[in-house]
Structure 1
Amino acid sequence: MSTSTNPVIAFAGAHRIAAGQLALVALKAKELLDRNDNATILIFDDLTSEQVEVDFRGSAEQVLQRLAADDAASTASEENPDSHEPARGPGRPKLGVVGREVTLLPRHWDWLNAQAGGASVALRKLVEDARRHSEQRDQLRRAQEYAYRFMSAMAGNSVNFEEAARALFAGDLAGFELLIEAWTPDVRDHLKVLATRAFAA
């Protein structure tokens, strides 16, 4: 991932160097790299913990220009999602309805067709009901994955890593915090923020 609209957080090794909007964080990281070109910089999306790639070649102004260009390209792609998609098939595109193939057994089709409104209406109702019932579980799973993604990148070799990962996915906040207490402070503190989101979810 090369850009992020979410706040980001940057680490030089195991030490946090900046957090906030990508352009400002990139400038801080660039300053550090100009002083020490052997520094290892990792920048993470503050929400998803995905690593954010920044091209630090050239001057600070050139770094910012590339970020602005990437952001403009990403915005244009989001505003014109159909520009890279093939022609739509059956459906009601003006209503946002897209036709796709669904493979079911005959008894499933028989049941769907017997519902009020037919198969399409019944399927949409089933999907919406499933989304509502699984929303909290899905939020928890995503928050756990975001925390684990950061853990793996920044503390994969740390003592108690496997045990801490199990505590994270088991929902054991007290055990999790105890297991990571000896980790590098900046990594541990950010991980506590991510884990709190997961346990809150």
Structure 2
Amino acid sequence: MTGHCTAFHDNTRIAQGTRSELVAALRGREDGLLVFEDATGKIVDLDWRGEPEATAPAPPPRKRGRPKLGVVPREVTLLPRHWEWLNRQPGGASRALRRLVDDARKADGGRSARRAAQERTYRFLSAIAGDFPHFEEATRRLFADDPDGFASTIAGWPVDVQQYAKTLLQPPEGDEP
């Protein structure tokens, strides 16, 4: 879903694609258009001027010597006893931290991915369906992790809104532990 958006007009899904694809496909139809970022469920503004999207600058040329292997330093604030424990671990602090993060992701059991999907869906529904009948009940069932109750509550809503909400509830690929 990353990088893609979905456009709605009058509660009907009319297009999907990147921002620049949507600008090309929907130019002249801007009135009443709502465009949602698929990864977050947030409303996005399109640049109708037709200028190309900003691209990231080219990376600097590689230098001679040992490659950094993609390692990006980050700052972690720990107490001295935490650093001592980490440094005593086989493989050092970095390996121990990676293992701890992986273990925590496995123990999470997908709860973080589910919560992110619920929040993404809620952002979409708040923007497009806030005035729909049973909106509050639908959001209660959404956050109660009741997919059947959620589906039955939104059953009377426009089909495209229902389908997109159900799509947003699915965790993105690669979001599993």
Which TM class, normalised by the smaller chain length? 0.7 to 0.9
Task: For 2:124 and 2:154, locate their aligned partners in 1 and report how far apart those are by CA, in whole Å.
Answer: 13
Residue 155 of structure 1 corresponds to 129
TM-score under structure 1 length normalisation: 0.66
Residue 164 of structure 1 corresponds to 138
Residue 44 of structure 2 corresponds to 52
1:26-175 mapped onto 2 (5 Å cutoff): 26-33=23-30, 39-57=31-49, 63=50, 66=51, 69-70=52-53, 73-74=54-55, 76-77=56-57, 80=59, 94-134=68-108, 136-175=110-149
Ranked by relative contact order (alpha carbons within 8 Å, sequence separation 6 or more), the top structure is 2
Residue 19 of structure 1 corresponds to 16
Task: For 2:87 and 2:25, locate their aligned partners in 1 and report how far apart those are by CA, in whole Å.
Answer: 60
Determine if contact 1:17/1:28 at 8 Å carries over to the other structure. no
Unaligned runs of 5+ in 2: 61-65
> Structure 1 pair 18/105, CA: closer, same or farther in 2 (3 Å)?
closer
Determine if contact 1:49/1:150 at 8 Å carries over to the other structure. yes
Task: For 2:67 and 2:127, locate their aligned partners in 1 and report how far apart those are by CA, in whole Å.
Answer: 41
Unaligned runs of 5+ in 1: 34-38, 58-62, 83-91
Task: For 1:169 and 1:41, locate their aligned partners in 2 and report how far apart those are by CA, in whole Å.
Answer: 27
> Structure 1 pair 172/95, CA: closer, same or farther in 2 (3 Å)?
same
Task: For 2:25 and 2:93, locate their aligned partners in 1 and report how far apart those are by CA, in whole Å.
Answer: 56
2:158 to 167, 181, 184: 184
Q: How many residues align?
A: 166
CA RMSD of aligned residues (A): 2.9
Amino acid at match of 2:13: R
Determine if contact 2:23/2:47 at 8 Å carries over to the other structure. no
Which is richer in helix? 1
Amino acid at match of 1:190: Y
Q: 1:154 offset after TM fit, Å?
A: 0.6
Residue 5 (structure 1) aligned with residue 20 (structure 2): no
How much identity, in percent, do the aligned residues show?
46
Amino acid at match of 1:193: T
